Amino acid sequence: MVPKRGRAAGPRSGTERPDRPVTNDGEPVLSVADLSVEYPTPTGPLRAVSRFTMSVRPGQVVGIAGESGSGKTAVALALMGLSPSGAAVSGSIRLGDQEMAGRSEQAWRRTRGHVASMVFQETQAALNPTVSIGTQVSAVFSSSLGLPRREARSETVEALRRVQLTDVDRVMRSYPHQLSGGMCQRVVIAMAVSCGSRILIADEPTTALDVRVQQEILGLIRRFAETEGLAVVLISHDLSVLEDMCDELIIMYQGEIAETGPTRDVLTSPQHPYTRQLLACSPRLGTTATRLAEIPKAQRTWPEGGCLYRSRCDVAFEKCGEHPQLPLALGPAAHRARCWRANSGSPEGGQWQA
Amino acid sequence: MAGLIARRLVAFAPTLLIVAIITFALEHIVPGGPALALVGASGGGSRTIALINQQLGLNKPLLAQFGTYIGHVLQGQLGQSYINHAPVSTIIGQHLGPSIELIAGALVLSLILGVGAGILSAVKRDTRLGQLILTASGGGLSIPDFWLATLAAGIVGVDLKLLPATGYVPLSDGLVPNLRTMIMPVIILSIPTSAFICRHLRSSMTAALESPYIRTSWAMGVRAPVIYFRFALRNAVTPVINFLPLVISGLIGATVVVEFVFAIPGIGSEIISAVTDRDYPTLQAIVLMVAVVVLVLNLLADVAVGAIDPRVRSGAGT
């Protein structure tokens, strides 16, 4: 579904920005391999992300879904080098043509805003309450591109127009508390896409917005991906949002990838019982179900070391005492699931009975 | 902004009235009364006291006395000292210079040290340096000023003879002699004050640096100096500005002790002698003046916060 948009002006087309070629294929601009993140807690390190792997090509939108605490945001922060201090991040993070894992804060600062930017769940809180919008956005231009004040201001006007804000002069003079949540999110997106970033990490960008504004913001992100070849990582717990937006989908469970593949494949023939149960939980228009399914709490405790989902799984069997691996990808965007019963998994497992 | 100032000014008037009532009541709360104080322990009988009461209008009803008092204060007449019968305004004028120099010097030094150390310890909060500044500021807060003042006067002034132990040389007698008498008291006043400012700024700056909006700035590639000094500091200073009137009134209180130890003829010393001599008009005038100064400072702080934070300006949000 392509969201309807009420405003006229669209993002500038690629021809106006010859320095940013529009490509929908080619080499990934973002590739992550074996990313693990551990957060320090008073009771010892907590593994938030475990051997996470993904890649995004220009113009592609890849979604990450999962319940609260599944590690979605931990992945997003690690991709931007914004993990909280004390976090242990290992594995490979390639942004553009640079390996960022283990790099200094200085190196990350040169990367953020130029190669990769991020949009957050908070809308108003993500903007500085005591600095006018014009000053906040132009600070991005003067920092990233080294533009003098006046040029930064005029770039700011242009950037705010690109995110289809009207009455730009008034917005520039406004403070965040004077704008709606949707307008604030447009401002944040304007900052994110304006200084040459080829990668956008959007962490639940529309969760705090009402449905109509949500569609506008998602449409804006989608259009930047299509017309300017922006590589987008979209994080959400809302499968219907991801279904509309994403080319590929990653389902996370307890810091691991449970299932990944082309969005349509994952949602129409889910291979992992967790994905199947997530789908059963999400409301759909046009269905007559009166009560949504819930994922059961842990039924019984199992010995350590097996499949993480086993205690909540309705199709677990003896084999699940062994931790299943995500099968190796046999081609780009292969549909894979970390489940012994999945089709693509071990030959011992068959299609589970629904 | 005009609206904010108007709102604050409306609140200003009743506070001022309450302050006037309290200073007026000073004279009448204390046992003995002013007439007895004037006559002194040696003094005459009840006839003399009645005469004095009549002369000073102290036999009139309290409300009438208060009316007269307010009338005089509004005309700038603060009365005459009971001790040497000089106009109180003259007495205050003579002692104001050293105190203003002391307080202004301590405030400037405290702001430089406290703001600098506060920013540094917030930015470096995960390092040993940040922890060191925090510990040092804790120490600075807990050192009693009278103890430090006595110790400094004794060691630096008497034993080492680096600076004069006591006394005051006015600025008109030359900058260097003046500074030689002021530098020790100013530093002693600045230690707890800068520690206080440092701790407050550290906590508000840390909150700002860990906020979603600063994370946004990092994520968009805004340069570190802009983030620290323009974006985070702007939000972090408002709680500190709200505390500054309190800091300054604390400084005024501390000058009483410090002026006494270093024998500086300022307002603090004058308060002590006015209390000992039961010189009520002088005491009333000083208390009133300090109260008005603190009120005006609060007003200025509100205006400054309004200038920085648009939410305060428009009366919206918190």
Domain boundaries, chain B: 35-77, 89-313
Q: Which of A140, A176, A188 sits opposite B222 (nearest CB)?
A: A140
Interchain contact A128–B (C-beta under 8 A): yes
Minimal Cα distance from A178: which residue of B?
B311
Interchain contact B224–A (C-beta under 8 A): yes
What's the pLDDT tens digit per position in B273-312? 888 887 888 888 888 888 889 889 998 998 899 899 988 8
pLDDT at res. A297: 65
CA B223 to chain centre: 38
Q: Which of A110, A117, A142 sits opposite B219 (nearest CB)?
A: A117
For residues B125-152, b (16+ Cβ closer than 10 Å) or e, as one string? beeeebeebbeebeebeeeebeebbeeb
Interchain contact B7–A (C-beta under 8 A): no
Which residues of chain A neighbour B230 with C-beta distances below 8 Å? 131, 139
In what helix (H) or strand (E) does residue A203 lie, and over which residues does it extend? strand A199-203
Beta bridge partners of A119: A202
CATH number of this structure's domain A14-253, picked from the four choices 3.40.50.2300, 3.40.50.300, 3.40.50.11030, 3.40.1000.10: 3.40.50.300
Is B317's pLDDT higher than 70? no
Is A268's pLDDT higher than 80? yes
What's the pLDDT tens digit per position in A159-171? 999 999 989 999 9
Is A11's pLDDT higher than 50? no
Cβ atoms of residues A38 and A50 within 8 Å = no
pLDDT at res. A261: 92
Rounded Cα distance between A54 and B177, Å, is 73
Q: What percent of chain A has pLDDT over 90?
A: 46
Which residues of chain B neighbour A127 with C-beta distances below 8 Å? 213, 216
In sign, the C-alpha dihedral spanning A60, A61, A65, A71 is positive
pLDDT at res. B32: 64
Cβ atoms of residues A303 and A322 within 8 Å = no
Q: Are A139 and B230 inside 8 Å of each other by CB?
A: yes
Rounded Cα distance between B28 and A351, Å, is 95
Compare A297 and A104 and report the one with higher pLDDT: A104
Mean pLDDT of A111-117: 90
B254 exposure class (CB count in 10 Å sphere: 0-12, 13-18, 19+): buried
Rounded Cα distance between A165 and A172, Å, is 10
Query: Any idea where the domains of chain A sit in the sequence?
Result: 14-253, 270-354
Beta bridge partners of A54: A32
Interchain contact B159–A (C-beta under 8 A): no
Interchain contact B127–A (C-beta under 8 A): no
In sequence order, what are the residues at sequence separation of 6 or more whose Cβ sits closer than 8 angstroms to the Cβ of residue B67?
Answer: none
Rounded Cα distance between A249 and A336, Å, is 11
Compare A345 and A114 and report the one with higher pLDDT: A114
Q: Suggest the residue from B220, B227, B231, B318 to mutate for an interface test with chain A (most A CBs closer than 10 A).
A: B220
- Rounded (10°) angle between helices B233-261 and B175-209: 140
Alpha-carbon Rg for chain B, nearest whole angstrom, is 24
pLDDT at res. A7: 37
pLDDT at res. A15: 36
Q: Which of A82, A110, A131 sits opposite B219 (nearest CB)?
A: A82
Which residues of chain A neighbour B217 with C-beta distances below 8 Å? 128, 136, 139
Q: Which of B126, B223, B235 sits opposite A129 (nearest CB)?
A: B235
Residue A145's pLDDT band (boundaries 50, 70, 90)? confident
Cβ atoms of residues B88 and B81 within 8 Å = yes
Minimal Cα distance from B238: which residue of A?
A130
Mean pLDDT of B188-217: 94
Q: Are A126 and B215 inside 8 Å of each other by CB?
A: yes
What's the pLDDT tens digit per position in B101-128? 999 999 999 999 999 999 999 999 988 9
Tokens 């992550």 correspond to A32
Which residues of chain B neighbour A123 with C-beta distances below 8 Å? none
Interchain contact B242–A (C-beta under 8 A): no
pLDDT at res. A353: 39
Is A344's pLDDT higher than 60? no
Tokens 């003879």 correspond to B161
Q: Suggest the residue from B204, B216, B228 to mutate for an interface test with chain A (most A CBs closer than 10 A).
A: B216
Paired tokens of B91:
């007495």
CA B125 to chain centre: 30
* Of the candidate ranges A214-218, A227-231, A341-345, B132-136, the one whose mean pLDDT is the lowest: A341-345
Is A53's pLDDT higher than 60? yes
Compare B161 and A219 and report the one with higher pLDDT: A219
A123 exposure class (CB count in 10 Å sphere: 0-12, 13-18, 19+): buried
pLDDT at res. B297: 92
The top-scoring range by mean pLDDT among A318-322, B1-5, B167-171, B253-257 is: B253-257
Interchain contact B13–A (C-beta under 8 A): no
DSSP code of residue A116:
E
Is B34's pLDDT higher than 90? no
Query: From the CA of A95, how many Å to the nearest CA of chain B?
Result: 14
Query: What does pLDDT average to over chain B?
Result: 86
| Residue among A124, A127, A182 at smallest CA distance from A6 | A182
* Of the candidate ranges A300-309, B182-191, B200-209, B218-227, the one whose mean pLDDT is the lowest: A300-309
Is B255's pLDDT higher than 80? yes
pLDDT at res. A291: 67
Q: Which of A117, A130, A143 sits opposite B226 (nearest CB)?
A: A143
Interchain contact A109–B (C-beta under 8 A): yes
Is A88's pLDDT higher than 50? yes
> What superfamily does domain B89-313 belong to in CATH?
MetI-like (1.10.3720.10)
C-alpha to C-alpha distances, A254 to A14, A46, A277, A308, A327, nearest whole angstrom: 40, 11, 15, 7, 18
Interchain contact A118–B (C-beta under 8 A): yes
Query: From the CA of B117, how many Å to the nearest CA of chain A?
Result: 22
Is A296's pLDDT higher than 80? no
Which residues of chain B neighbour A131 with C-beta distances below 8 Å? 230-231, 234
